[in-house]
Amino acid sequence: MPETRTLQLLHSVFGHAGFRPHQEDIVSQLVNGGDALVIMPTGGGKSLCYQLPALVRDGTGIVVSPLIALMHDQVVALKQLGVRAEYLNSSLTAEEARRVENALAAGELDLLYVAPERLLTERFLGLIERARLALFAIDEAHCVSQWGHDFRPEYVQLSVLHERFPSIPRIALTATADAPTRAEIAQRLQLENARHFVTGFDRPNIRYHVRQEASGAREALLRFIRDNHAGEAGIVYCLSRKRVDEVAEWLSGQDLAALPYHAGMDAAARRRVQERFLNEDGVIVVATIAFGMGIDKPDVRFVAHLNLPKSLEAYYQETGRAGRDGNPADAWMRYSLSDVIQLKRMMDESEADEAHRRIERQKLDAMLGYCELSSCRRQSLLGYFGDALPAPCGNCDNCLDPPQSWDATEAARKALSCAHRTGQRFGANYLVDVLLGKEDERIRRFGHDAISTFGIGQDLSANDWRTVFRQLVARGYLVADHDNYGALRMTPTCRPLLRGEESMLLARQVAQPKRGKKGRTRPAASDDPLFEALRERRRELAKEQGVPPYVVFHDSTLAAMAALRPQTLEAFADLPGVGERKLQTYGPAFLEVIRKTTG
């Protein structure tokens, strides 16, 4: 029975108690020889979807991956589980590569990671033609998309796998959402007949907090870290190199292990920061956006923004680096209106053409709309990415601690009506001018000084009106038409609001955040001496093995250890994340710590 064997390996090798959503269906699709296209958010557990079937099926699973650093990390982690995994890429010497190739030919590998350019060589294709293959996995499959920012020309040629190995099951995986990219992947990799698994983009374990604050953001960050994440790993994003250096130095002065990371540092210095972040506990990296790509650290407990990101896409990608292990994590932001001004200036000064700049401005507007929300942030975020969340999430600042708000229903109706009466052909700035009844040549020329909404908005300031429009966009009542100069068009969702069946509340922009520990995700781990002792032991073991601490055990396994305090190897084996190999290698050492600390 393949099912029982699959479950058995899930427990004995990976130490997982069960599957995450969708994993079971995907694994069984491959085990049974079918193809799959998997769209799953970061942290959803994509790797298991090909690693487990590769173990269940005979032969070697070939994994195509574009990121050398990730290949290395995955192979190290798999070896810790007792899986026979290797990789082939340009970082190996000829001698090392030959050893791996021989192991493949001898049928001694469960998984082989390979860079696409290596895979496509006639030599390698010949080699795998003679080997027994379990499956092909194509990771980061969006690299095949010519319109995406990660395009890899070699990926297009991966269709050769289907042509030369028609009977070997293939799985392509990515976290990139949108439908055009998905269609492009299916078409270029000839996966039209594969089963598609598209899972939601929600990251329910991430708690979003956003606040506007003109000054004191640094102090607020320190308070946030001390109250919620003492001794834990995190990333702090800033807009400029200068600010990165400044903030890193200041945090270090407050006794935190904070390191700067930006493109102005030389490659060796950057690599050192990255290594410390991966290999030590509780390191905070203060970075420009250059940091994070290809870093697969599962236990990043918070991502903080001290500036406004330039789009929701960037924000979602950056915050998505928190909590990949599924445990509670925070996405925390403080921004100021001067960020908006600075970003707009950078966009105006960029070399890009006008159409491109306009799209950037609209993305920034969507970002601001998100920041100014008084309603559930997750609903707005997921809605933006085309993934509806029916009810408020209960795990964002607005859900947990609803902000003071004012009733903007009437204003919203005026705004929508103004868009309607001007033919849904204009952007927010023009509409604001009409509402304020501005003397303007263009308005007169279009005859909009004669419509009923001309000048009916003088009770609010131009800034308030812009907020109203941003909110209408953030909540999906209006959409900005990028092909048509950002004209605001109404969507069917605005009907209940127009009919008076729905109201709209907007947050009052309060300058000072409320203090206190409300909204804290959980007690800081370091409150518990046993957890600290276990972490110390993990640090030593990781050092001996030359691997990052989370490769020995995740925090969630240590937390379960501290809570359940197993006394025997048998009880230890029941902890999440403990498979047979790790039980043998590490069980006795941790049992000893539990006995000593609690005995």
Kindly list the residues in this chain that would bind ligand ADP in the complex (CB under 6 A): 16, 19-20, 23, 40, 42-48, 298, 324-326
Rounded distance, CA 201 to CA 297, Å? 19
Give the DSSP H/E element, type plus range, for residue 506. strand 505-507
- C-alpha count within 13 angstroms, C-beta hemisphere, residue 555: 22
Which one, 86 or 325, has the nearer CB to ligand ADP? 325
Rounded to whole angstroms, what are the CA distances from 477 to 282, 380, 411, 469?
42, 11, 13, 9
Which residues of this chain interact with Zn ion, rule CB under 5 A? 376, 378, 392-393, 396, 399
Minimum CB distance to ligand ADP, residue 74 (Å) = 8
Which one, 383 or 513, has the nearer CB to Zn ion? 383
Minimum CB distance to Zn ion, residue 370 (Å) = 12
Location of structure tokens 């193809």: 35
42 touches which of ligand ADP, Zn ion, none (CB within 5 to 8 A by kind)?
ligand ADP
Minimum CB distance to ligand ADP, residue 197 (Å) = 12
Which one, 67 or 189, has the nearer CB to ligand ADP? 67
Rounded distance, CA 141 to CA 171, Å? 9
325 touches which of Zn ion, ligand ADP, none (CB within 5 to 8 A by kind)?
ligand ADP
Phi, psi of 63, rounded to the nearest 5 degrees: -110, 120
Minimum CB distance to ligand ADP, residue 575 (Å) = 12
Minimum CB distance to ligand ADP, residue 552 (Å) = 13
Location of structure tokens 């058995």: 8
211 touches which of Zn ion, ligand ADP, none (CB within 5 to 8 A by kind)?
none
40 touches which of Zn ion, ligand ADP, none (CB within 5 to 8 A by kind)?
ligand ADP
Which residues are CB-contacts of 528 (< 8 A; sequence separation ≥ 6)?
562
486 touches which of ligand ADP, Zn ion, none (CB within 5 to 8 A by kind)?
none
Location of structure tokens 């903030």: 247
Closest CA to 476 of 499, 498, 493, 495: 493
Question: Is residue 6 within 8 Å of 57, Cβ to Cβ?
Answer: no
Which one, 401 or 574, has the nearer CB to ligand ADP? 574
Give strand ranges (E) for 167-307: 170-174, 195-198, 206-212, 234-237, 258-261, 284-287, 302-305
Question: Is residue 269 within 8 Å of 260, Cβ to Cβ?
Answer: no
Minimum CB distance to ligand ADP, residue 246 (Å) = 32
Which one, 40 or 128, has the nearer CB to ligand ADP? 40
- Local structure of 111: helix, strand or coil: strand
43 touches which of ligand ADP, Zn ion, none (CB within 5 to 8 A by kind)?
ligand ADP
Minimum CB distance to ligand ADP, residue 554 (Å) = 6
169 touches which of ligand ADP, Zn ion, none (CB within 5 to 8 A by kind)?
none
Question: Is residue 14 within 8 Å of 78, Cβ to Cβ?
Answer: no
Rounded to whole angstroms, what are the CA distances from 158 to 73, 105, 193?
23, 22, 16
Which one, 365 or 397, has the nearer CB to Zn ion? 397
Closest CA to 298 of 277, 314, 321: 321
399 touches which of ligand ADP, Zn ion, none (CB within 5 to 8 A by kind)?
Zn ion
- R_g of the chain, CA atoms, integer Å: 27
Q: Which residues pair with 331 in a beta bridge?
A: 208, 303
Tokens matching residue 439: 């003397």
Which one, 392 or 576, has the nearer CB to Zn ion? 392
Which one, 231 or 392, has the nearer CB to Zn ion? 392
Which one, 40 or 506, has the nearer CB to ligand ADP? 40
Minimum CB distance to Zn ion, residue 400 (Å) = 8
Minimum CB distance to Zn ion, residue 7 (Å) = 35
19 touches which of ligand ADP, Zn ion, none (CB within 5 to 8 A by kind)?
ligand ADP
Minimum CB distance to Zn ion, residue 385 (Å) = 15
114 touches which of Zn ion, ligand ADP, none (CB within 5 to 8 A by kind)?
none
396 touches which of Zn ion, ligand ADP, none (CB within 5 to 8 A by kind)?
Zn ion
Question: Is residue 581 within 8 Å of 82, Cβ to Cβ?
Answer: yes
Which residues are CB-contacts of 592 (< 8 A; sequence separation ≥ 6)?
none
66 touches which of Zn ion, ligand ADP, none (CB within 5 to 8 A by kind)?
none
Tokens matching residue 44: 């959803």
Rounded distance, CA 250 to CA 471, Å? 36
Minimum CB distance to ligand ADP, residue 455 (Å) = 53
Which one, 200 or 260, has the nearer CB to ligand ADP? 200
Which one, 44 or 486, has the nearer CB to ligand ADP? 44
378 touches which of Zn ion, ligand ADP, none (CB within 5 to 8 A by kind)?
Zn ion
The per-residue DSSP string of 319-342 comes to HTTS-TTSS-EEEEEEE-HHHHHH
Phi, psi of 69, rounded to the nearest 5 degrees: -65, -40
Phi, psi of 302, rounded to the nearest 5 degrees: -150, 150
The gap between the terminal CA atoms of the chain, to the nearest Å, is 44
Minimum CB distance to ligand ADP, residue 1 (Å) = 20
Rounded distance, CA 332 to CA 217, Å? 11
Residue with the shortest CB distance to ligand ADP? 45
Minimum CB distance to ligand ADP, residue 50 (Å) = 10
Which one, 383 or 392, has the nearer CB to Zn ion? 392
- Tell me the longest C-alpha to C-alpha distance in the chain: 86
Which one, 150 or 449, has the nearer CB to ligand ADP? 150
